[in-house]
């Protein structure tokens, strides 16, 4: 596998009735009731004959319960980029919130790259508490534990090179084991930030998202994103609709998929 990769984002759903007050912490949350949208993506890292996927979204059933717009499954979204999910060798899971791990069964031969701290937290003593429990789905968690028992998890601690030119980095802040992904490309180092910065406005304005485990950890995470990426333009947030405007559209998939690098 080459150590220079192409990187794509593909949209599978959206949340159109959120407000600014939910997406920014403290003083940055005002005006609280300003309408804001979140988009839901999966990310594809392509090099040669193999694809690496980052995150696995959520299912139509979860979307219905949580009142999210769901256009297609994450695996169907990846199929639009000619990715056969049953042949993907690695799926990197940024963290275990419901909108990042719901479609993992589609990747029948993959190993799932996970920070040890993330699994430890969600199988530990605080996971049942209301403000944590609401962020995950029981079925997802049971599936993740089962995959661990089946030997399909690649547990890492800190920084790890998954394939040449693709590394994960533990950052925390948003969750105990949140990890971001750095990817070597012809444009430089791209950072797939997932929920390290939900929106461009979080990292660009030093304004953390409203859900976090550690506020200092969120600020440290912003510093890490800037240190890893070759430029601020190559920091890719996890849920910003403007991702589909800032990068090149994939032919035939306008408004659905972009090539980041």
Distance of alpha carbon 59 from alpha carbon 40, whole angstroms: 12
Burial class (CB in 10 A: 0-12, 13-18, 19+), 36: buried
CATH superfamily of 6-259: Ribonuclease Z/Hydroxyacylglutathione hydrolase-like (3.60.15.10)
Distance of alpha carbon 203 from alpha carbon 193, whole angstroms: 10
Question: Given CA atoms 149, 153, 159, 161 in this order, what sign does their dihedral have?
Answer: positive
Domain boundaries of the chain, sorted by first residue: 6-259
Tell me the three state secondary structure of residue 48: coil
Q: Looking at residue 28, what is its pLDDT?
A: 79
Question: Given CA atoms 194, 200, 204, 207 in this order, what sign does their dihedral have?
Answer: negative
pLDDT tens series, the chain, 261 aa: 578 999 999 999 999 999 898 889 988 778 878 888 999 999 999 987 689 999 999 999 999 999 999 999 999 999 999 999 999 999 999 999 999 999 999 999 999 999 999 999 999 999 999 999 999 999 999 999 999 999 999 999 999 999 999 999 999 999 999 999 999 999 999 999 999 999 999 999 999 999 999 999 999 999 999 999 999 999 999 999 999 999 999 999 999 999 999
**Is residue 93 a contact partner of residue 113, using CB atoms and an 8 Å limit?**
yes
Distance of alpha carbon 261 from alpha carbon 184, whole angstroms: 9
- Own/partner contacts of 71-75, CB < 8 Å, gap of 24 or more, are 71/11, 71/12, 71/13, 71/14, 72/12, 73/12, 73/103, 73/106, 74/12, 74/42, 74/102, 74/103, 74/106, 75/103, 75/106, 75/107
């Amino acid at each position: 596998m080459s150590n220079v990769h192409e990187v794509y984002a593909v949209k599978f759903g959206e949340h159109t009735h959120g407000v600014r007050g939910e997406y920014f912490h403290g003083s940055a949350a005002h005006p609280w009731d300003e309408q804001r949208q979140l988009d839901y993506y999966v990310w594809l890292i392509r090099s040669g004959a193999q694809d690496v996927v980052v995150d696995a979204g959520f299912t139509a059933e979860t979307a219905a319960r949580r009142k999210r717009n769901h256009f297609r499954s994450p695996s169907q979204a990846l199929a639009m980029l000619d990715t056969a999910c049953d042949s993907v060798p690695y799926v990197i899971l940024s963290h275990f919130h419901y909108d990042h791990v719901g479609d993992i069964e589609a990747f029948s031969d993959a190993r799932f790259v996970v920070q040890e701290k993330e699994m430890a937290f969600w199988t530990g003593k605080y996971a049942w508490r209301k403000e944590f429990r609401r962020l995950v789905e029981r079925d997802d968690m049971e599936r993740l534990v089962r995959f661990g028992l089946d030997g399909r998890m690649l547990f890492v601690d800190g920084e790890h090179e998954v394939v040449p030119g693709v590394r994960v980095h533990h950052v925390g802040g948003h969750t105990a084991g949140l990890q971001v992904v750095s990817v070597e490309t012809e444009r430089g180092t791209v950072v797939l930030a997932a929920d390290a910065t939900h929106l461009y406005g979080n990292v660009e304005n030093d304004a953390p998202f409203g859900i976090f485990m550690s506020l200092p950890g969120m600020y440290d995470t912003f510093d890490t994103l800037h240190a890893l990426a070759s430029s601020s333009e190559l920091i890719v947030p996890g849920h910003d609709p403007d991702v589909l405007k800032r990068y090149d559209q994939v032919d035939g998939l306008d408004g659905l998929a972009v090539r980041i690098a």
